[in-house]
Structure formats: structure tokens, C-alpha cells
Amino acid sequence: MHSKTSLVGLSTLAYLHAANAAAMSLASNLTIPVQFAVASYRQVDSYTSINFFSSFNFFTGSDPTHGFVDYQSQSNAQNRGLINTNNGQIYLGVDHTTTNPSPGRASVRLTSNKAYNHGLFIADIAHMPGSICGVWPAFWLFGPNWPNSGEIDVLEGVNLAGTNSITLHTSAGCTINIGGSQGGTNLNDANCNSNNGYNGCGVTTTVPNAYGDGFNNNGGGVYAMQWESSGIYVWFFPRNNIPADIRSGNPVTGNWGLPIVAFNGGSGCNIDQHFMNQNIVFDTTFCGDWAGGVWGGTCASRASSCNNYVAQNPGVFAPAYWTINSVKVYQL
């Protein structure tokens, strides 16, 4: 964790200490979240097409979520055209030409070499995997010894979803409230250790053009996730409405209005005990525990199982790719 004392003045420090105490009290009373640091964030890391693939490692093990996926090494992904940095953007794709691939459809899962404690994480994404049966994309963070160091799912969904699911996963003892979130955000479960952490405490959202096909058709946008002792907050800005302070590299969370979701800490959850040493992850898997587990409706009319559909219809996965302009990390 980066030292705060060498970066901000004494008057700002006094403000932050007061704000932190106020945040705990406010969160406990289901009121709006404190915008924890209105003027003191500084950039500590910038991941762009220049350094992304040297700053992230390629996971090549079996999918922990039991997906029908074959995660590729960097060299294999490069050779197969699954990754590139064309036009100054980071491209993360999947195989969309092979029928009945074994042991699963080729894809990539990248994890940042660096782990973080607290910060403001701003991802400028031009395209994400579309709303396609069998697809399960995610932009998220997690720490070691899961779920003891926590997991923060910023952008995630499955199959034909048109809206984003935002979820926290923790060890026992973290119950969250979402007071101060935007209207239309609904808490599915307050217990972040629900089902031993596998379900977690998630919300469904109604923000337009924030996921899948709608997101892509609108040119993507920016997700910002703020993680401090008071709580974890997530904003989304569509391409045509990105705040000037983000575009200038001087983000001020207090300017942005209510987040899509405010996961408030306070008496129900000591954030610093449940979230630590987290790495940034981008991945695209197929089927598995979630996308396969809810296989039904329109998707089920196309194939008897998720795995069969993914195996036999490679061409539909051409739009299942990420195009990332940058991921920037700021800390106090």
C-alpha cells in the first residue's frame, strides 16, 4: 500500500481522517456515501497498449469456474491472433473459427502483476464481449486465498444479458448496504459470504448501455471503481459523457454524483479486513458455473446444453472480444 502521508498536505490529511470517520457513521445509517477524497488522488499506474502485456500475466490453468474454455499462454494467444495492440488499443479475443475444440474454446485470462490495497481504478473500454449465448466476460479484482482477501466484480454478465451485475465476494462477517446508490440498483443479497462466498453480495442495475451489445453499440465507456476503508463504489460513464476530470487525468469523485452502487462498510463490514492485496483481471470464459447454470430460454432453444452450443457455433463468438483503451490506477 502506498503511503498517504508523503503525498498530501496536513490540512488534507485532517480532512481525510474526518471524512473516514464520517463515512463509517453515514454508511451505517444507509445514507449517501462519502466521496472519500475529493482532490487528492494521484496516478500510480497506467496500463495502455504500450505496457499492458508486460504488466499482466496469462493464466493457463483450469478455469476455477468450470467453464468450457482453454486459456492460452501469451505466445499461443499471439500466434492465434487472440491478442494485439493495433491502433493503440488492447485487444483480447477468443477463438471463433474452430468447431468442437478440445478441451474448450480458446480464450485469455489476464491478471495484473501488481496487487493493490485501496485506490481508484478507471477502465476506459471501447468494446466488451457482446450479449451472446454461452459467453461470460468479466473485469474484476481479487486477492489471494479466496475468498479471504475478497473479490470485486466491476463488470460482469452472462449469455444474452443487457445489464451489468456488480458483486462483492468475501469471507464470513461482511454484510453490506447500498444506501446512496443510484435509483434502479437492487441488492440481491446483503451477505457477501453468501453460499460460502460463491454468490456474494451483488446488485442488478438498470443503467442503459452499460453492458454487452448496448455498451458496444454506444462506443463503450468508462467504469470507475473507488475502494477505500469506507466502502467500494462503482460509476459508469458512457462514451459521450465521460467527465472532464477523468479525461484530463485528474479525477475528482466528488464531481460525479451518486455511483451506480455504493457498497458501504460501516458496522456491517470492515472493508479493510475483507479486501486486500487485489490484482486486476480481464477474462472471457464460456458456460461454467454461471452461464451454463442458467442456460435456458432463447439460448436453450438453440442447443441442448451450453457446452454444445459453444463447441458447435464458433462464428457467433467473433464479437466476444475486449478492446481496452487504458486502465489507470490512482491512490491517495
Q: What is the CATH number of the domain that holds 202?
A: 2.60.120.200
What is the tally of structural domains in the chain? 1
Residue 15: inside a domain = no
Catalytic residue among 70, 151, 153, 283: 151
Pairing mode, if any, of strands 278-286 and 135-142? antiparallel
Q: Which three cell numbers stand for residue 330?
A: 490512482
Predicted pLDDT of residue 13: 32
Given pLDDT bands bounded at 50, 70 and 90, which one contains residue 39? Answer: low
CA 168 to chain centre: 10
- Which residue segment(s) compose the domain that 170 sits in? 42-331
User: What pTM value is reported for the model?
Assistant: 0.90
pLDDT in tens, 126-180: 999 999 999 999 999 999 999 999 999 999 999 999 999 999 999 999 999 999 9
The answer as to whether 23 is a domain residue is no
d(CA 317, CA 78): 18
Distances (CA, A) of 18 to 34, 36, 38, 272: 11, 10, 13, 17
Read off the pLDDT of each residue in 218-226 and give the average, rounded to a whole number.
Answer: 98
pLDDT of residue 123 exceeding 80: yes
* Residue 156 forms part of a structural domain: yes
Residue 259 has pLDDT above 70, yes or no: yes
176-195 tens-digit pLDDT? 999 999 999 999 999 999 99
Residue 4 is predicted with a pLDDT of: 19
Give yes or no for residue 64 having a pLDDT over 70: yes
What pLDDT does 32 receive? 47
Region 299-315: mean pLDDT is 98
Question: Does 37 map to a domain?
Answer: no
- For residue 246, the surrounding DSSP H or E stretch is helix 244-247
What is the distance between the alpha carbons of residues 83 and 106, in angstroms, rounded to a whole number? Answer: 12
What percent of the chain is modeled with pLDDT above 70?
88
Averaged pLDDT for residues 98-102? 97
pLDDT at 36 over 70: no
**166: three-class secondary structure by DSSP:** strand
3-state SS of the chain: helix, strand, coil percent to 5? Answer: 25, 30, 45
Residue 164, in any domain of the structure: yes
Distance CA 260, CA 186 (A): 10
SS3 292: helix
Type of residue numbered 180: G
Report the C-alpha dihedral over residues 228, 206, 191, 285, rounded to 10 degrees: -90
20, part of any domain? no
Mean pLDDT of the chain: 90
Q: What is the pLDDT of residue 40?
A: 75
Output the pLDDT for position 204.
94
What is the phi-psi region of residue 118: left when phi exceeds 0, alpha when psi lies from -120 to 50, beta otherwise?
left
pLDDT at 254 over 80: yes
Choosing from 63, 70, 156, 283, the catalytic residue is 156
Residue 115 counted as domain residue: yes
156 tagged catalytic = yes
Rounded CA separation 183/206 (Å)? 9
Q: Is residue 211 part of a domain?
A: yes
b/e map of 155-168 (b: 16 or more CB within 10 Å)?
bbbbbbbebbbbbb
60 is written with which cell numbers?
Answer: 493457463
Between CA 51 and CA 75 the distance in angstroms is 16
pLDDT value of position 23: 41
